[in-house]
C-alpha cells in the first residue's frame, strides 16, 4: 500500500531513523520476508538519497530503514552526471518521492583528491579526473570563503550539489516550486553516525 508523505514528514522520518542509529537503538524495519513479498509488483519510497559511494555510508543502515523505503543513487563524491539526473527525475516523476537528500560525509576521498589537485595543479589520470573536475568548483568556492579543511569543502560541495540539481533539472525545479518536493543537504559524521543538515531548498 502506498504511503505518500509531505517533504517535511519525509524529512522527519529520516531524522528519527538516524537518531535511532546514532543511539544504537536501530529497529531494522521492513527487512523481513513479508516486506520483500509486498514489494514484488510495486514500490513507494518516501525519499531519494543521492550520496557518496563510500562503503561507510550505507543509506538504509544509517537512517534505520528497510526494503522499499528509499530510492538510492550513489557516485564517488556524490558527483552529478546525466545518469544521476535521469535517476532523480525518475524518482520524482514516476515514484512521486517528496524528498531529495544529498548525502556527503567527512574525510571524503573524492573531495580530498580534488583538494590535492587544486593545490598542486596535478590532475589524476583516467576517469578519476572527471570526478575531480566536477568537484573542483566546490573546492574553489570553499577556499574563497577561507575554508581550507576537507570537511568544510565537503559541506560546500553538498550545498552546491543541491543547488545544481535545482538549476539543472526542470522536473526537479518545478516540483520544488509546486511544493511537492524539497531538497536537503546532509553531512555525515563517520565517528558519530550523525547526518547533520547543512542546506535546504523548498518547504520543510
Binding site annotation covers 52?
yes
CB burial readout 72-90, b (16+ within 10 A) else e:
bbbbbbbbbeeebbebbbe
Binding site annotation covers 157?
no
Quote the CA–CA distance of 110 and 69 in Å, as a whole number: 27
Binding site annotation covers 105?
yes
| Cell numbers linked to 194 | 550523525
SS3 track for 4-18:
CCCHHHHHHHHHHHH
Binding site annotation covers 54?
yes
| Residue 40: HSE in the Cβ half-sphere, 13 Å Cα cutoff | 4
Point out the annotated binding site.
Answer: 52, 54, 105, 108
Point out the annotated binding site for Zn(2+).
Answer: 52, 54, 105, 108
Amino acid at each position: 500500500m502506498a504511503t505518500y508523505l509531505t517533504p517535511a514528514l519525509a524529512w522527519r522520518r529520516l531524522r528519527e531513523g538516524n537518531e535511532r542509529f546514532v543511539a544504537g537503538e536501530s529497529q531494522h524495519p521492513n527487512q523481513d520476508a513479508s516486506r520483500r513479498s509486498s514489494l514484488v509488483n510495486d514500490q513507494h519510497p518516501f525519499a531519494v538519497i543521492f550520496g557518496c559511494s563510500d562503503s561507510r555510508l550505507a543509506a538504509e543502515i544509517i537512517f534505520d530503514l528497510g526494503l522499499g523505503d528509499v530510492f538510492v543513487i550513489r557516485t564517488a563524491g556524490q558527483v552529478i552526471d546525466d545518469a544521476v539526473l535521469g535517476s532523480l527525475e525518475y524518482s520524482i516523476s514516476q515514484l512521486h518521492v517528496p524528498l531529495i537528500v544529498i548525502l556527503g560525509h567527512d574525510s571524503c576521498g573524492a573531495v580530498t583528491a580534488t583538494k590535492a589537485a587544486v593545490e598542486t595543479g596535478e590532475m589524476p589520470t583516467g576517469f578519476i579526473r572527471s570526478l575531480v573536475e566536477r568537484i573542483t568548483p566546490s573546492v574553489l568556492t570553499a577556499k574563497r570563503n577561507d575554508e581550507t579543511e576537507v570537511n568544510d569543502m565537503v559541506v560546500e560541495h553538498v550545498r552546491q550539489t543541491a543547488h545544481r540539481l535545482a538549476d539543472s533539472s526542470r522536473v526537479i525545479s518545478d516540483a520544488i516550486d509546486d511544493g511537492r518536493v524539497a531538497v536537503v543537504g546532509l553531512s555525515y559524521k563517520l565517528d558519530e553516525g550523525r547526518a547533520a543538515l547543512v542546506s535546504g531548498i523548498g518547504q520543510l
